[in-house]
Amino acid sequence: MAQANILGNMLFGALSGSSVAAASAMGGCISPIEEENGYDPAYSAAANIASAPTGLLIPPTSAFIVYSTVAGGVSISTLFMAGYVPGILMGLCCM
pLDDT of 40 reads 93
Contact 33, 1 (CB under 8 A): yes
**Cα 55 from Cα 62, distance rounded (Å):** 11
> Domain extents for the chain?
2-94
Amino acid letter for position 82:
A
pLDDT of 39 reads 92
- Arithmetic mean of pLDDT over the chain: 88
pLDDT of 80 reads 87
Q: What is the pLDDT of residues 15-27, one digit of tens each?
A: 888 889 889 998 8
pLDDT of 43 reads 92
pLDDT of 37 reads 92
Q: What is the pLDDT of residues 21-57, one digit of tens each?
A: 889 998 899 999 999 999 999 999 999 999 988 888 8
